Amino acid sequence: MSLKSLTKDWEPMSYGFLDASAKREIRRKTLKAIAVPGCQMPYASREVPMARGWGTGGLQVSCTLINPKTTVKVIDQGADDSVNAASIRRFLARVSGAPTTTDTLKADLIQSRHRIPEEVLREDQILVLQVPNPEPLRPVQPNMSIARQMHADADYGRMWLQLYEQIVRSGRVMQGASYPSLVHGRFVMTPSPIPRWDVPKMHMAKHLTILSAGREKRIHAVPPFTRVEPLVFDDVPYRVEEHGDLTCTRSGAKGYFMNEIPQPDGTSTYEVSDSELGVKTIRSSEGETIDIGQTWYQNGEMAQ
């Protein structure tokens, strides 16, 4: 028996960029994260050819899940065409040979920075969210050892205290994104910094959501059909952004989450944040037969 017979031939790069042991570890940690919804699992975040903080956590999970038949979609704050999204999409295609798409309905794997697409995701789809700060307790407890004990004890009083302080100082809850949410009635998580608009989309969703922080080396997950409840006082209702009445100036789409575009005259125009939904709306209005999926929100209201 020679050494050569025991080893694989040299390859310039592993499939999906990460080596097999790295992917094995990430799969193991992802399974653990799915088994304990909302609980942060530490993992050995590897180097990828991208700076920390630019989606390395999400990229590692995507590299682990991808195979040549996976259709990949990458969005950055709802847009398929941002430099970051386009670069990650091209990188994933290059290291895996997987086909890419911008259509939410055709994607098997969606890597996203800070948004959940407006079209409802299916059971067979996986959403990977990039996360900068996975620890919801960090603003109220800088000592991470104590924060972990607080998670173990489900000691989340100070998360409510943060909301109390916001109401006292500003008359309303000011937390626009990263809204602390209780997963499966047990762990409080920071759902990436997705806007408040998107948090209800995670509640009892059919798809699997994996949240990965590359810099902070943590993975957590929301399995399908899991309760995700934003922390709210019993007598102060949860409010999402009031975008229901806004109309996209480019596509005419109405009733979805919008990006505000300030104008030189001091006014603002709005564009639908989910760029692919905007493109579909334009093509549909031009007479093309376009498959627009069911959306989570209808006329600015979350569908029951």
Residue 204 found at the interface with another protein (CB under 8 A) = no
Phi and psi for 270 in degrees, rounded to 5?
Answer: -130, 145
Interface residue with another protein, options 9, 235, 245, 265 (CB under 8 A): 235
The helix, strand and coil proportions of the chain, stated in percent and rounded to the nearest 5, come to: 30, 20, 50
Bridge partner list, 295: 119
CA dihedral 12, 14, 18, 21 (to 10 degrees): -120
Residue 169 found at the interface with another protein (CB under 8 A) = yes
- Footprint of another protein on residues 215-234 (CB under 8 A)? 233-234
Which residue, 4 or 169, is less far from another protein as judged by CB?
169
Q: Could you tell me which stretch among 70-78, 86-94, 157-165, 187-195 binds another protein (CB under 8 A)?
A: 157-165
Q: Could you tell me which stretch among 166-174, 175-183, 251-259, 293-301 binds another protein (CB under 8 A)?
A: 166-174
Which residue, 67 or 149, is less far from another protein as judged by CB?
149
Which residue, 127 or 173, is less far from another protein as judged by CB?
173
Which whole-number Å values give the CA distances from 121 to 10, 173, 222, 295, in the listed order? 40, 29, 14, 9
Which residue, 157 or 176, is less far from another protein as judged by CB?
157
Q: Could you tell me which stretch among 23-31, 48-56, 80-88, 158-166 binds another protein (CB under 8 A)?
A: 158-166
Q: Could you tell me which stretch among 50-58, 162-170, 247-255, 265-273 binds another protein (CB under 8 A)?
A: 162-170
Residue 142 found at the interface with another protein (CB under 8 A) = no
Residue 237 found at the interface with another protein (CB under 8 A) = no
Residue 239 found at the interface with another protein (CB under 8 A) = no
Residue 186 found at the interface with another protein (CB under 8 A) = no
Residue 31 found at the interface with another protein (CB under 8 A) = no
Neighbours of 178 (CB within 10 A): 22
Neighbours of 84 (CB within 10 A): 17
Neighbours of 209 (CB within 10 A): 28
Of the candidates 108, 64, 61, 114, the one whose C-alpha atom is nearest the C-alpha of residue 85 is 114
Min dist CB 137 to another protein, Å, is 14
The three-class DSSP label of residue 197 is helix
Can you tell me which residue has the tokens 């109309």? Answer: 247
Beta carbons of 280 and 290 less than 8 angstroms apart: yes
Which residue, 153 or 242, is less far from another protein as judged by CB?
153
Can you give the C-alpha Rg of the chain in angstroms? 20
Q: Which residues bind another protein (CB under 8 A)?
A: 149, 152-153, 155, 157-158, 160-161, 164-165, 167-169, 233-236
